[in-house]
Amino acid sequence: MSSGSEAFDVIVVGFGYAGAIAAIEAHDAGASVLLLEKQPDPGGISICSAGGLRIAKSAEDAYAYLAATNAGTAPEPVLRRLAEGMTGLPDYVRRLAATVRAVVSVRHVDEPSSQSGPIAPEPQCGGWHKVDEPAPPACPSDSGNSQQPPPK
């Protein structure tokens, strides 16, 4: 336990995917890092994806999708950066995995057919729902131990 007199260059709050990557990158850049997580296990809302990450082959296509589905809640430069990051994610995760000899697989999910109707992301649990149907209830992320999204 800290005496309260330690200083850190970077403090990361939350040990989900984003927090973990932020801490790793800050550390690798030479910063002293404190990573805080309120739950006994890491994962945050990321556990709802069952280990999956959303990736893209084309930054432009990813940006078009994100812009069409975010309801104007994120600025254009943020969406563009996210879309760019989605294209490099498989290689980034492979590099991280190699340090501990983990295996990474990429599974490409085909776009839904035009007959299936429009779909929208379900951000609480990383899933999808049809646009004309209500979204499922929020993921129980505060429990800290549920790895299954709620039933639909």
- DSSP states of 87-102 as a string? HHHHHHHHHHHHTTT-
Residue 151 CB coordination number (10 Å): 6
* DSSP annotation of 13: E
What sign results for the dihedral spanned by CA atoms 126, 129, 131, 136? negative
Residue 72's SS3 state is: coil
- C-alpha 130: how far from its chain's center? 21
On the CB side of 126, how many CA atoms lie within 13 Å of its CA?
18
Distance CA 43, CA 133 (A): 28
| Residue appearing with tokens 């809640």 | 73
Tell me the mean pLDDT per 10 residues along the chain, length 152.
Answer: 80 93 96 95 82 86 92 95 92 90 76 44 45 48 38 44
Nearest-Å Rg of the Cα atoms of the chain is 18
Q: By C-alpha distance, which of 18, 54, 51 is closest to 147?
A: 51
Residue 17's SS3 state is: helix
Structure tokens that stand for 11 in this block: 């403090």
Residue 9's SS3 state is: coil
- C-alpha 148: how far from its chain's center? 16
Predicted TM-score (pTM) of the model is 0.60
